[in-house]
Amino acid sequence: MPRPAPEAIGPSRSGTVALIGRPNVGKSTLLNAALQQPLSIVSKTPQTTRDALLGVVHHGSAELALLDTPGLHRPRTQLGRVMNEAARDAARRADVVVFVTDVSPRPVKHKEDGTPIAPRPLLPHPGDLVLLSDLAPDRPVLLVVNKVDVLRDKRHLLPLLEAYGKVRNFDAVVPVSAQREDGITLVLDEIARFLPEGPFRYGVDDVTDKPARYFAAEYVREQILRATQDEVPHAAAVSIDRYAEPRAPGQAVQIDATIHVERQGQKRILIGTAGAMMKRIGIAARERIEELVGGKVVLRLWVAVTPDWRESVPRLEELGYGRARGGATDAAEYMIVAERDAEADEANDTADDEGDEGDEDLDAEGEEDEDLDEEDLDDDDEGTLDEDEEE
């Protein structure tokens, strides 16, 4: 059900709002709840968000330019350092900072006789203490405590809020459940109070400043995160080789995309047996993109091995990290573009075996030409950060 729009009272206000916090605390879910549409990609994988993403909300007499940012963490790759800088830059430029944390569910422990043991008081996450110390003291900072729905006894929440209050004098504190969209209106109300007075900078129907081809790449990556879980998500990036608008009404948007991974084993996982994994990813991504563009989409996917792309500054820039994404890249030296024929153009998604060497691992029969090498899966500790590894 759409959220009731508040009445526009008082002078117009407009400003930039940075959503800052550790990975997986729910910043992207909070943005989507504020927008009332799933613009930002969401998954259970840490560091899902890699860019600062603008989402514009008009709330009464206020215009909120919300910036979803990558989760601040201890980086192990150049990509991680670029992501951290994107988040910190958003915080530096913002008129208001919303610091997002969460309530981690705790299992109930029992004594030998079955009596439940009273849980210890909830305390601020150690990583939050570090991040809060980095925030500018002269900027309005709101604390949003997410996932409060996991607390069976809400009395445990008050000591946690008091503990955060001793770390910093927040301008407002709002407990929410972003997934259930509980407390979102109050968050927007509180943000609006601290925005500077001024005219709106965006149109009433504007939602973001990113082009559709940016979201095409992101929605493909979202399905990789969901389909592969802990296997290859951190080593995958997506570039758009072609994005062609329909030439006539009723025709489809034509999208060619390359999925970049770092190892042959990761590539074989993405393709799957007889291309099954690639088909699953392609269908789900195409449906997501069709919702965005409001029409039919023909999506063709290829997989290319781009060794150590997360550590290469030039390749990160070519893939759009570290600058605005959405335009064409100059990555011809490593980006594999398959040959296309009329039959392929009719397909909604494909793992084409007509391309250059290294483009994919399917032979003419549609079977994998090599067995899966388990040793190629040992990259999980390169990207997946345990909670105690985060800043």
CA distances from residue 142 to 91, 95, 145, 365 in whole angstroms, order as listed: 12, 12, 10, 58
159 annotated as ligand-binding? no
Q: What is the DSSP string of 130-145?
A: HHHHHS-TTS-EEEEE
119 annotated as ligand-binding? no
Ramachandran assignment for 341, one of left (phi > 0), alpha (psi -120 to 50 degrees), beta (any other): beta
Closest to 389 (Cα-Cα) out of 128, 127, 135, 146? 127
247 annotated as ligand-binding? no
348 annotated as ligand-binding? no
148 annotated as ligand-binding? yes
Contact at 8 Å (CB) between 178 and 30? yes
Per-residue burial over 42-79, b = 16 or more CB atoms within 10 Å of its CB, e = otherwise: bbebbbbbbbbbbbbbbbbbbbbbbbbbbbbbebbbbb
What is the rounded CA–CA span in Å between residue 352 and residue 257? 12
26 annotated as ligand-binding? yes
CA 240 to chain centre: 17
What is the rounded CA–CA span in Å between residue 192 and residue 238? 36
The pair of three-digit structure tokens given for residue 92, joined into one six-digit string? 């530096």
Contact at 8 Å (CB) between 123 and 150? no
Closest to 27 (Cα-Cα) out of 103, 112, 100, 125? 100
Q: Under 8 Å CB-to-CB from 382, ≥6 apart: which residues? A: 76, 77, 234, 235, 310
68 annotated as ligand-binding? yes
What is the rounded CA–CA span in Å between residue 303 and residue 325? 20
21 annotated as ligand-binding? yes
120 annotated as ligand-binding? no
SS3 call for 253 = strand
384 annotated as ligand-binding? no
Closest to 31 (Cα-Cα) out of 223, 188, 149? 188
The pair of three-digit structure tokens given for residue 117, joined into one six-digit string? 């043991």
What is the rounded CA–CA span in Å between residue 19 and residue 142? 10
Q: How many DSSP H helices and E strands does the chain contain? A: 11, 9
24 annotated as ligand-binding? yes
Annotated binding site: 21-28, 68-72, 146-149
As annotated, the binding site for GTP includes: 21-28, 68-72, 146-149
